[in-house]
Amino acid sequence: MTLCLFKAITGVPCPGCGMMRAHLALARGDARRALHWHPLFWLPWVALGTYAATRRGRLRRAADTGALRLLGWASLAVHLGVWIARLRFRIPGVASQRW
């Protein structure tokens, strides 16, 4: 049984599969294991920090120029690229899950 709706419907792990286990490993202080489960486990924290800084006005100029929008699209592209690579090359974290 899986809690991932995407995997339950398609049978293929989603781009975020392994992210929760990565954060749990990081909470235990095991950054190496966190990277094993998902190499982009740090990306949501960077996005959250960037969002908070924008809301406080610290990155207002970047927000006005569209740089943050570009950064968002770039991070999405990287996330999808990592997902495809993990599926293609059966990298641990995705490949270790039965599907």
Tens of pLDDT, residues 5-35: 888 888 888 888 888 889 999 999 999 999 9
pLDDT of residue 94: 53
pTM higher than the cut 0.85: no
Contact 22, 28 (CB under 8 A): no
Query: 10 Å Cβ neighbour count for 19?
Result: 18
Query: From CA 77, how far away is CA 73, in angstroms rounded?
Result: 6
Q: Tell me the per-residue pLDDT of 60-98, one tens digit each, with 9 for 90 and over.
A: 776 677 777 888 899 999 999 998 888 887 655 554 444
- E strands, the chain, in order: none
pLDDT number for residue 32: 93
How much is the pLDDT for 51? Answer: 81
Look up residue 87 and give its two tokens.
């599926």
Q: What is the separation of C-alpha 9 from the centre of its chain, rounded to a whole number of angstroms?
A: 20
